[in-house]
Amino acid sequence: MRSAIAKLPRNLYSSARVRELEPVLAKRQGVLMWSLMEQAGEAAWQRLRQRWPNINTMTVICGRGNNAGDGYVVARQAMEAGLEVRLLQLQTNRQLSGDARLAQKQFLSSGGHIQEATCEAIGTPDLIVDALLGTGFQGQLRLEVGQLVSAINDNGAPVMSLDLPSGLEADTGHVETVAVAADLTVTFVAVKQGLLTGQAASYCGDILLEPLCIGQELAQEEVPQSYKINYQDFLEHLQPRVADSHKGHHGRIAVIGGNHGMPGAVRLASEAALRSGAGLVSIISRYENLPLIQAGRPELMLWGSDIADIEVYQRVSWGQVVLCGPGLGSGDWAYHMWRVALNAERPLVMDADALNILAKHPQKRQDWVLTPHPGEAARLLGVETIEVQRDRFWAAQELYRRYGGVIVLKGAGTLIYDGARMLVAPVGNPGLATGGSGDVLSGIIASLLAQGLPPCEAAACGVCLHGEAADYAAEAGQRGMLASDLMPYIRQLVNP
């Protein structure tokens, strides 16, 4: 997790709720909304100077809402500090309203000038400040605004966005067409949940929170919509083992998978389960895969079967937790093995091909953890993948409504939802975009579940541990990173 994101508070909010509460909390403190805008602009200016202390020229691009008012305050502060400021305004033929109009007047009174916002007018500044669109934006940019955003991204100057990058939806992290690719986002009052999931990772850059005078009161009084988590949140679950422990104390896992030509996935998941502390792991796979699975990892127990018979059921029932899906494939063997997993009456982790079978044979239960990536989530919901990514929070909630248990919706800013808590894990890095990463994650979650963590904690801790291990592995480079590169770091991280 990037250090700036790690320092953000845990509580995440919807933008609508923050906008609703801002005037209420300001009035309670006897603060005018104009004063709040002044605080926001001044705070952003200070962050700007800390990040870019040597800039001399700056272009501030303002829209027509309160976000524009914040931009005018930043522009005035910069101008008064001696910087050369170019301010571009959308639709200069229309007056701003409310506090944004007052901020504009103060900028003009300080000697500022306003130009129409065009792509050519951006110039070649040392820095661009994005104050185009605020947290209420949703959907598709107007053509001229989209062209302006593209010009900002093509300019080459570093960019600071106020509250959020223009074009990004604050509550979902979705970008319909294009958004400003900021180097720094300074958000105000509270962190909006969409900044930490989905496409937001590609647009926000570093994120800093300025709570202003009302942020602390909001955090104390308002129930968050979701919660940011990281590896450090789960250290209490990773205590040293007692001196007289034995392998039976640390959980037995039965792993089902490995159809024709797919021994790697089940091997990766099973080794990850061992490396994250499981006492015993037994794999049920096709006979042909057994030599390849065991080669180099004799600690794994194996049972080969090309039919789902009573012995397979007994082997699966031996596990205190069942992991089904890595390399499971499709066809009769996969389906019958999937049925065995369901009938074993054990806590379940379902991943990969097991989720595709579930999409065809839907059912709901509370004792499983489902770990879909967006494509698998789309199949489970009967929608296109873009619908899942358009609102990942909705997708996680809808998956829970239909299937129950604990939902782990993978991707940038993985979501974990158990029907009561929505957890956001902005962990890991693009090096995880490689075959086998999801198998490793499912093995970790199954292992933590077998070691006694409650399902939601096992899922959340597993996601964070997996992401932290990936960050260590990526120190040698994200490109070319393998899922198996995580193994030594997993062992290190479960022994903090």
Residue pair 302/233 in contact (Cβ under 8 Å)? The answer is no
The per-residue pLDDT for 201 is: 95
The per-residue pLDDT for 247 is: 79
Q: Which amino acids are annotated as binding site for AMP, given as ranges?
A: 410-414, 438
Q: Which amino acids are annotated as binding site for K(+), given as ranges?
A: 67, 130, 166
Q: Which amino acids are annotated as binding site for (6S)-NADPHX, given as ranges?
A: 134-140, 163, 265, 327, 373, 439
Domain with residues 3-225, CATH architecture: 3-Layer(aba) Sandwich (3.40)
Q: Which amino acids are annotated as binding site, given as ranges?
A: 67, 130, 134-140, 163, 166, 265, 327, 373, 410-414, 438-439
Predicted model pTM: 0.97
The per-residue pLDDT for 296 is: 85
Q: Which option is the CATH number for 231-493: 1.20.1050.10, 3.20.20.30, 3.40.1190.20, 2.40.30.260?
A: 3.40.1190.20
For the chain, the domains span 3-225, 231-493
Residue 399 dihedral angles phi and psi, to the nearest 5°: -60, -45
Low-confidence ranges of the chain (pLDDT < 50): none
Alpha-carbon separation of residue 156 from 124, 151, 186, 305 (angstroms):
8, 9, 20, 59
The per-residue pLDDT for 93 is: 86
The reply to whether 231-493 shares the fold of 3-225 is no
The per-residue pLDDT for 16 is: 95
The per-residue pLDDT for 248 is: 79
